[in-house]
Chain A
Amino acid sequence: SYELTQPPSVSVSPGQTARITCSGEALPKKYAYWYQKKSGQAPLVVIYEDKKRPSGIPERFSGSGSGTTATLTISEAQVEDEADYYCYSTDSSGDHEVFGGGTKLTVL
């Protein structure tokens, strides 16, 4: 079945730029979405349709894509950005949804 591959962890210091990648064969044709999940809270969309930011999400969150890789970039990362981040998309048919394995972002 279709998979999205993310690095297990990313670590940055406060104020640095964090980049989290997501690789999947269908990403050239299907949008990537990014969810932020903090312990005990429901997932929150931070990027949709590759690079769009929902209202209320800080401008430091941005998304991009190139070929089979989507990237979530958090500029000037803050301690409050520590969370697990999941990319989400569908397979090439669009019928089956998938979450990436998740990336634990540490801002320390």
Chain B
Amino acid sequence: QLHLQESGPGLVKPSETLSLTCNVSGGSITNFTFYWGWIRQPPGKGLEWIGTIYYTGTTYYNPSLQSRATASLGTAKNQFSLTLTSVTAADTAMYHCASFDTGLMVYDTWGPGIMVTVSS
């Protein structure tokens, strides 16, 4: 069974770059039955899809974040990552990584999330 765990800084300064990593255990990120996604939830608000990366490295992003978001695979360490540039207070949120089951077409395994605050 897959287990996902986010890691990264809990505090980022405005205008800087946020970098997060999702460590995957219990399965390979090159497994074609999964895609890998990033979803966030600002305090008191709803879920927001950030982006998804396929095992091929193909990426798709939320149009509202496309210019600032980059997802990548780290196959050597069985992890995938997200960078978000030029952050503002609006990027303060709980960030989750999740596996997307291509059979059911659902995010079926989620990391516990990491709270990221953008503040000087």
Contacts and interface: CB of A to CB of B under 8 A. Distances in A.
B29 to A, nearest CB: 19
Contact of B105 (A49, A99, A101): A49
A37 B106 contact: no
Given A42-B96, A102-B47, A96 B60 contact: yes
Contact of A48 (B37, B52, B62, B105): B105
A87 to B, nearest CB: 10
Contacts, number: 54
A97 B63 CA distance: 10
A101 to B, nearest CB: 5
B47 A96 contact: no
Nearest to A99: B47
Contacts of B107: 35, 43, 45
Interface string B34-45: 000101000000
Interface of A: 1, 31, 33, 35, 37, 42-43, 45, 48-49, 54, 84, 86, 95-102
